[in-house]
A = this chain, B = another copy of it.
Amino acid sequence: MTLVGVEVELAPAYTVHIGPGALDLARASFANEKPRVLISDARVHGLHGRTLDPKADARLALLPEGEAAKDFEHLASTLEFLAQQGLDRRSCVWTLGGGAVGDLGGLAAALYMRGVAVVHCPTTLLAQVDASVGGKTAVNLGAGKNLAGAFHQPRAVYADTRVLATLEESEYRSGLGEVVKTALVAGGDLLGLIEREADRLAARDPGLLSEVVEACVRTKARIVAADPMEAGARKALNLGHTFAHAIEQSAGFGKVAHGVAVGVGIAIALRAAREMGCLDDRELEARVRRLLLRLNLLPDLASLRRSIGRALEPRELVAAMRHDKKSRGGELQLVLPRAAGKLELSVAVDGALIESWLA
């Protein structure tokens, strides 16, 4: 077992353990917790619970699968569960699951007694490359995705790339959307690597997966350490996300996988960058389109509309964008790419103009 440890240089610093068998390393640490409390969902727990908790005697809170977990009802019941288990301020909550489990479990840990420790064991590609690192936690409001939450850094993260073999194809593909985003944010060699190896990546080659997850986590760790509360540089990680959140909300939470929406959001951001005259790399739009297609993602809004059989009206999408956390006083602020690794973090764009691009 060859694990890599990526440090996130915050105060206190924490390690993201990456590779096949990271859950075996996690098991030894989890065994020392008193009480041993695990937040997961039934499907993930059935597949991987025993790896972390071989005697199956941890105290268990099982959430519904996916975005359905991320509401106030489940937040409240999870907090009552933590109290019933007798957790005190020195206790540590563990999560095992995808982004939703980590978001909800992380927020519960942030709020319980005004903050206890949390360790994440992300089991989806999306959570491994993005959600479990950086301390963002949230639930959804009716008014928009992730509108209520907290910054709460984990004590450690265990990203076992072996579990990615068990993901459903649609879930795996969703993670690739965040991989493409991270490659565009990172610049350097990551985008080239993914382009060269797109077929092996789509086929989940284990060695390549560990390499890609590590590269993505290194990128995210570097950015988060420089700007933990998203005052500036961290905004880069929101590339494509204002569009993606609006798509997810308009379609109804859970109807479009987050990473698929991010892929389409990136395509729209590239179009927007071209229209706004800030896209320096003229080939990037076509390159990313080809890459999205090779990774079985959707390359534009038109394909997404056909795929889900929904109109996703431009006016409705722009209205949803106004609720996004990046918007300011009703004016829309977009993260737009100039080239791979080179982004404009806050471009003010008129809503009517955006509507025309979404037609």
Contact check, B34 vs A113: say whether CB atoms are below 8 A apart. Answer: no
Interface residue A172 (Cβ < 8 Å from any Cβ of B): no
Partner of A115, one of B72, B113, B150, B329: B150
Given the complex of chains A and B, what is the CA–CA distance between A328 and B329 in angstroms?
A: 45
Q: Are B114 and A80 in contact (CB under 8 A)?
A: no
Copies held by the complex:
2
Given contacts A114-B149, A148-B111, contact A330 B86 (CB under 8 A): yes
- Any chain B CB within 8 A of the CB of A14? no
Q: How far, in whole Å, are A73 and B136 apart by their CA atoms in the complex? A: 23
Which residues of chain A (304-359) have a CB below 8 Å from chain B? 322-323, 325, 327-330
Interchain CA distance A73-B327 in the complex, whole Å:
26
* Tally of A interface residues using CB under 8 Å: 38
- On chain B, the residues within 8 Å of A265 by CB distance are none
State the Cβ distance, A287 to closest chain B Cβ, in Å: 33
Q: Cβ of A143: which chain B residues have Cβ within 8 Å of it?
A: 80, 83-84
15 A–B pairs (Cβ distance < 8 Å), ordered by A:
A72-B76, A79-B147, A79-B148, A83-B141, A83-B323, A84-B143, A88-B327, A110-B150, A114-B138, A114-B150, A114-B151, A114-B325, A115-B150, A115-B229, A150-B150
Q: Given known contacts A76-B141, A86-B322, A114-B151, what 6 new A-B pairs fall within 8 Å (CB)?
A: A72-B73, A79-B148, A80-B141, A83-B147, A114-B136, A115-B229
